Amino acid sequence: MGAAVAVTRDELTPAQLRAAAGRGEEPDQVRRLLAIALVLEDVPRRQAAEQCGMDRQTLRDWVHRYNAAGIEGLRSRKSPGKAALLTEAQKAELKALVVAGPDPERDKVVRWRCADLRAEVARRFGVEVREGTIGGWLRQLGLTRLQPRPCHPKKDLAAQEEYKKTSPIC
């Protein structure tokens, strides 16, 4: 078994580490500070780790982080999460596409539905997603799924007005 990793930072005493733990708001960081305070008081590593609810190897890893970055190194890091499927430029292009509306001749639809946009995103960007994902992207882009009623591209407004004037209903 190798030698224990030494705590090389000496700017804080165990009492100061405990005081920092008392002021801490993140429970995991508080446990880590208390464990390092125990290590500085020459408590055996296994006992210090068990008292703070961690494994001896985990305590060793936290000592390394404390040596490298101090108290801030003991904070839990936020996971970066899954990479975005569309770039910002592609999202801007999607928003422009939705705002402009479909071309009935080319797109074969009179209004964009999530299913239609899903197929268009797959065709343009090569990204296969669920319809719900398309709805989420629309919300992120400040758009809603509510749309005005579609109108037929060949409708004749003059004929409609003439019909209103001559209709027996009116």
Q: pLDDT tens across 133-169, in order? A: 999 999 999 987 666 677 787 888 888 888 887 766 6
Q: Is the pLDDT of residue 170 over 60?
A: no
The pLDDT of 116-132, averaged and rounded, is 94
- For residue 161, the model assigns a pLDDT of 85
The pLDDT of 3-19, averaged and rounded, is 88
pLDDT band, residue 1 (cuts 50/70/90): low
- For residue 160, the model assigns a pLDDT of 84
Domain ranges of the chain: 14-74, 88-151
The pLDDT of 37-62, averaged and rounded, is 93
Taking each continuous run of H as one helix and of E as one strand, the counts in the chain are 9, 0
Q: What is the DSSP string of 4-56?
A: PPP----SS-HHHHHHHHHH---HHHHHHHHHHHHHHTT--HHHHHHHTTS-H
- For residue 167, the model assigns a pLDDT of 61
pLDDT band, residue 54 (cuts 50/70/90): very high
